[in-house]
Structure 1
Amino acid sequence: MILVDVATGSQAWTEPVENGWQVHQHGPLRLWNAVEDALSAWQDAGSPPQSDFGMTVDVDGTQRVWIGTPEGPTWRLPV
């Protein structure tokens, strides 16, 4: 898997190793950490269906993904 944020040049990728996977990250954003945080939030919310997700863009351009309601579990998207 390869993740790239074109705005910052941040990158994350995985490669197989003996007993699993190794993650590499470069750039100012820790993209793999963000994936793990989002997965944990989803699991903590009971693994809801995709239809329970929403996104809000604030007046300052901040983009937030949320589960259930805008007041529920939330995280910012890198911009």
Structure 2
Amino acid sequence: MTTGPGHVVAQLAAPPVEFWMSGADVVLVDVATGSQARTESTRDCWSVHENGPLRLWDQVETALVKWQAAGAPEQSAFGMTVTETTQTVWLGDPGGPGWPLPV
């Protein structure tokens, strides 16, 4: 799987999730909770199938919309702030769109 800024944002949305490609489709699995999401391409559209306690695709989609609203910048636009109690990846500057990470 080729990794670009969109893939980085998807992983930021769900840090413990494993991502796989199955042809053109994407599979997300959170082993800890048993949550899963899978895209399925058909002729004219995409469907998403989710199960488990977490809505993994919803998390990823929300993060990608936030990134796209910021102009879909390249990886060089990302930064990170780390304190004793938090870790946050952000776009542009620490006050910009961001994603908290587990500590």
Q: Same fold (TM over 0.5)?
A: yes
User: Which ranges of structure 2 fall in alignment gaps of 5 or more residues?
Assistant: 1-25
Alignment partner, residue 72 of structure 2: 47
Alignment partner, residue 9 of structure 1: 34
Distance in 1, Cα, partners of 2:46 & 2:55: 17
Amino acid at match of 1:74: G
Secondary structure of 1:40 counterpart: helix
Change (3 A) 1:30 1:64: farther
Which of 65, 69, 72 is residue 93 of structure 2 equivalent to?
Answer: 69
Amino acid at match of 2:62: D
User: Which ranges of structure 1 fall in alignment gaps of 5 or more residues?
Assistant: none
TM-score w.r.t. length of structure 2: 0.60
Q: Aligned residue pairs: how many? A: 78
Distance in 2, Cα, partners of 1:6 & 1:63: 22
Secondary structure of 1:35 counterpart: helix
Structure with more contact order per residue of length (Cα contacts < 8 Å, sep ≥ 6): 2
